[in-house]
Amino acid sequence: MSHDLADLDPHTPIVVGVGQSSELLDSPDYRRRSPVDLAADAAREAVADAGIDPSQIDTVAGTRQFETSIPGARALLGRSDNYPRSVAGRLGADPKRAVLEVGGGQSPQHLVNEFAATIAAGQAEVVLLFGSEAISTIERFAKADDKPDFTEHPEGDLEDRGYGLRGLVNMHHSTHGLTDAPSQYALFDNARRARLKLSRDEYAAAIGELFAPFTRVAAANPHSSAPVERSAAELMTPTEKNRVIAEPYTRYVVAREKVNQGAAVLLTSVGAARRLGIPESKWVFLAGHADLRERDLMERNDLSASPASVLAAREALAVAGVSFDELASIDLYSCFPAPVFNIVDAFGLSADDPRGLTVTGGLPFFGGAGNNYSMHAIASTVNLVRSKPGSYGFVSANGGLMSKYSVGVYTTTPSPWKNDNSAALQAEVNAWPAPEEARQADGWATIETYTVKHDRTGGRTGIVIGRLEADGRRFVARSDDRDTAILDLLSTGEPIGQRVYVRSFGFGNRVSVSDAAIDELFPPQPAVLRERYDNILVRRDGHLLEVTINRPEARNSLTPMANDELDHAFDAYFAADDLWVAILTGAGDKAFSAGNDLIYSGSGKPMWVPKNGFAGLTSRRHMPKPVIAAVNGFAMGGGCEIALASHLVVADATAQFALSEVKVGLIAGAGGVVRLPRTVPVKVANEMIMTGRRITAEEARSYGLVNRVTEAGRALEGARELAAEILESSPTSVRISLQVMEETRGIPDVVDAVTHHSAALDDLMVSADAIEGLTAFAQKRKPRWVNR
C-alpha cells in the first residue's frame, strides 16, 4: 500500500478529515447553537481528525440554510451574511476563497466532486466544506422574549452562487398546488406504483418495508433527530401524529426538517497531506464521482423514475471501477421513498440488503439537515471505509425534484484522480425527447399521475398530471375545493389511466370527472353586460361602450377580481352586435391604471389574471372591434400594457407612460416587452424597458404610442370625439379592416400581404353595410349602418 501511495501524483485529492455535530432540544447539554456554531463544531472536529492547523485552509465552501435557500425567506433569529467566513472565523482560519453553494440536497457531494477536481488541477490544496441547520432552535425561540440573535457581519469576500432554483421553482406549478416537496414527490411514487401494478395497500407496505431498516440505523446514530425504531406498519398507519401529508405519504416517511445538525469534510492534495504530516490512515480517496441534472418535471417522458440519476450512479461506479455488488456501504438519498426506489429498481437491490441502504438513518429519521444532509452521509461513509481498509462506500445526493444528482464512491484504496464523463452524459440527457406541454388545458384527458394533499384541518386538494386526448399534450391541473367527485376518484382504486375532464381559467387548470361537473362548478357566464360591477363602471351611449376602472383610491391598480370584471365587460362588448366602439379609462384624475395592485399581491393572496390577460385585453387573441384607451394621469406597468394592447390611445397633457416593473424586480410580462419595441423606436423601447423611464404624453405621441393629446382632464372627451369619428364609418368595414390587418401582420413581403386573400372581404362585398354605403353615396345622404 505504501508503494502505491508513493506513486500517486501529489495533486491527487483526498478526504483527510470529517466531523459531525448535533444537539436536541431536550438534551441536558443543549446550548442553543446557531447554524454557524453547529458548522464550526463539525469543522473543528474535521480539522482535529486530520490533525492540522486551521491556518492552512485556503478555501472554504458552505451549503445554504433553509433561510438562505429561497428568495424572501426570513431569518427569524437573524443570520450571518457571510456564512462561510463566519465559520472560518470561529476556527481562526483566513482562507483566500469563500464559497456559498447553490441550494439543493446534491450540494455536499457536488462540492466534494468540484473541489476534488480543483485540487487535482493544482488550484487549491486544503479545502474545508461544511453545512448546518438549527431549525429546531429557530422555531423554538422565534417568539420567545429571550431569543438569541444569530446575526453576524464578518468581513471578507464571498462567492455567492445564488439559489440555484432555475427549472425548480415554477409559478405555473405553484398555481396548481405544487408548492411543497411531499406533493411533488408523491407524483413520482404514485406513477411508480401504477407502473408496478400494485394496489395502494401493497405500495404502502413496500414503503414501510423500505424505511423500517432506516429507523433502526437512525435509532443507533447519536446525531439522529428522531432516534426511534419503527415497524413497517407503524410508518404507514395514519394516526394523529402520523397524519397523511400527500398520498401516499404519511408524516413519518417524509424528510424531517426540524433538526440542529452540522457536518464538515476536509479535503487536501496528497502533496499537502504529506507536507502537513496527516497520517496515511486518514486518507480516503474519491474513486468515483458524477453529477447530472434530470429534465425538468414536465419534460420527463416517464414520471415514475429518474434515468439521469441512474446514469450518474452508473458513471460514478464506472469511474471507480467497481460494481454495486462490490460496495461495502450505501447511502441513498431518502427525502422521500421515490429517490430510494429509483436506485433500488435500477440496480436490483432489496429493502433488506444486508449492507443497508443508509449509513445515517436517512432524512426522515436521522434528519434532513436541509441542503446539508449528504455531508453527514459522506462523513459517516469516510469513517466506515477507514474502519474496513480497501472497502468502497457509495453516497448519492439528490436535489430538487429528483432533478440534480451527485454521486461519490469512497475508498482507502489508493486511487489516482480520474475525470468523469458527466458533460457528455448531460448532453445525452438534454437531447432526450420531451412531451409537449399545454399550459392552458381544455378537454377530455387521461390521468398520468396524481396526489391528494391533506392539510391539518382535514382539507384536501387533488393534483393531476395528465395527457389531453386530443393531442397528447401534458398538463398539470388541480381540483376545485368544492369538488368531492374528483377527490373520491383520486383517493380510491387506481386513478392513473382514468378519463377526466380539464378546463383552463385565468387562475389555472381545473380537473373533474366530466365536462358537466366542470360546468356545474364553474357555470358559463353569459357575455352580457351586468347592471353592476364592484370594481368598474360601464356606460352605454348608443353604439359606444365606456368602461371605467373605478379604483381611484388605489390609482386604478388591478386585483384579480377587477381584471375578471374587465374581462367580462369586454367579452360582452365583443359579443354585442349593437356595440361598435369601446373606450377604457380610469376614474379620477391621478391615474389611468398603475398596473397590478402591489398591496394586494404583497398580502400573500393568490394573484392571477384572466386567460385574456391584464384587463381582459393584453392576451386576447381576437379584438374584432376598436378599443380606445383614454389615459388620464399615470399609465404605469400594467396600465401602460393596457394602452399598448388597445387599438387607439388618447392621452391628456398630464399623462405619463412607463413600464416600471424593473424597478421592483419584475418584467413587463403582460405584453409590454413585446409590444413596446413594435410600437415605438427600438432604442426608445430598450431604454424604457431597462430603466423604467417615464415618458410624457407628447413624447409618447411623437413615438407613435399615442394618437392624440388633449388638455389636462379631457382625455375621455377626446376619446369620445375619436369614437364619434369611427362611428361615422361602417362598423362592418372597421371590423373587417381590423381582421385583415391581423391576418397580414405576420406576412413580411408587402405584395404578398396586399394580395393575401381573406374570406372576410368576400363577406364584406355582400354585406348590408356595403350595399348601404354605396347606395347612400349615390343618393348623397348619410349612411344608416346596420353592422351586417
Q: How far apart are the C-alpha atoms of 674 and 703, rounded to whole Å?
A: 16
Question: Would you call 758 exposed, middle or buried from its count of C-beta atoms within 10 A (0-12, 13-18, 19+)?
Answer: middle
Give counts: helices (H), strands (E), the chain.
27, 27
Q: 667 phi and psi, to 5 degrees?
A: -130, 165
Q: Which residue has the cell 370625439?
A: 721
478 - beta bridge partners? 463, 510
Of 738, 767, 739, 726, the closest CA to residue 545 belongs to: 726
Residue 358 CB coordination number (10 Å):
26
Please report the DSSP string for 70-121 in residue order.
STT---TT--BSSHHHHHHHHHT---SEEEEPPSSTTHHHHHHHHHHHHHHT
Residue 35 CB coordination number (10 Å):
32
Looking only at the bridges linking them, the beta strands covering 695-696 and 656-658 are antiparallel
Q: Each residue of 151-171: b (16+ CB within 10 Å) or e?
A: ebebeeebebeebbeebbebe
- DSSP assignment letter at 340: H
Full 3-state SS string of 432-467:
CCCCCECCCCCEEEEEEEEEEEECCCCCEEEEEEEE
- DSSP assignment letter at 637: T
Q: How far apart are the C-alpha atoms of 367 and 326, rounded to whole Å?
A: 28
Question: Is 728 annotated as catalytic?
Answer: no
Q: How far apart are the C-alpha atoms of 676 and 693, rounded to whole Å?
A: 13
Which entry of 139, 469, 661, 728 is annotated as an active-site residue?
661
What single letter denotes the amino acid at residue 40? A
Cβ neighbours of residue 690 closer than 8 Å, sequence gap 6 or more = 662
Asked if 738 and 626 count as a contact pair (C-beta separation under 8 A), the reply is: yes
Which entry of 641, 717, 721, 743 is annotated as an active-site residue?
641
Whether residue 248 is preceded by a cis peptide bond, meaning omega within 30 degrees of 0, is yes
Question: Would you call 591 exposed, middle or buried from its count of C-beta atoms within 10 A (0-12, 13-18, 19+)?
Answer: buried
527: left (phi over 0), alpha (psi -120 to 50) or beta: beta
Give me the sign of the Cα torsion angle 237, 243, 247, 250.
negative
Q: How far apart are the C-alpha atoms of 611 and 599, rounded to whole Å?
A: 23
Question: Is 553 annotated as catalytic?
Answer: no
Looking only at the bridges linking them, the beta strands covering 656-658 and 634-636 are parallel
Positions annotated as catalytic residues are 641, 661
